[in-house]
Amino acid sequence: MRIVVAAVGRLKQGSETELSERYRKRTVQTGRQLGLRAVEIIEVRESRAADAGKRMIEESIALANLIPQDAVVVLLDSTGENLDSAGFASQLAKWRANSRSAIVFLIGGADGLAASLREKAELRLSFGTATWPHQLVRVMLLEQLYRATTILTGHPYHRA
């Protein structure tokens, strides 16, 4: 199984990038025991359109073009489902058990994502009702992916 984190916007060099990469590498290392082949980060350029609706559509199209056939689509959305870490790990285990080739996590830009992507999503995942910058959402998602792999492999990182 392959995990793709597709996000609108780029992380600049700094602490968010370092933390993001640290959790990505840890997820890959721990995930090998689970048959996890790769954790990829794909950054999509922010649209330069003047109109917010047009920006959202352009960014959504760019993200949609990255979704492989038969992939699980997970949309990061403040109105989505708020899973605890064990529930998130359980969901990953179900997708793996169903032999899904990839899981694609979509992180939209400031204007959100188009309804067509919302409809494609098998899960809309929330990290709470607060609005988070996409840089922090990416770090939080990668940490949760790492935590999920540690839960599924019995690693002591997750203690709660």
CATH of the domain at 146: 3.40.1280.10
Give me 151's structure tokens: 């839960």
**Rounded CA separation 95/126 (Å):** 18
Number of domains in the chain: 1
Backbone φ, ψ for residue 152 (5° rounding): -70, -25
Which pLDDT belongs to residue 160? 60
Low-confidence ranges of the chain (pLDDT < 70): 159-160
**78 with 126: CB under 8 angstroms?**
yes
- Picking from 145, 113, 102, the residue whose alpha carbon sits closest to that of residue 127 is 145
Beta bridge partners of 44: 8
Query: Does the residue 159 lie in any domain?
Result: no
125: containing domain: 7-153
Does 1 fall in a domain? no
pLDDT of residue 5: 97
Tell me, yes or no, whether 139 lies in a domain.
yes
Burial 102-118 (b: 16+ CB within 10 A, else e): bbbbbbbbebbbbeebb
pTM exceeds cut of 0.85: yes
Residue 158 belongs to a domain: no
Whole-angstrom CA distances from 36 to 1, 11, 12, 14, 69 are 5, 24, 27, 27, 18
Residue 84: what pLDDT? 95
Determine the Cα–Cα distance for residues 38 and 20; give it in Å rounded to an integer: 15
Helix axes 85-97, 134-153, angle to 10 degrees: 70
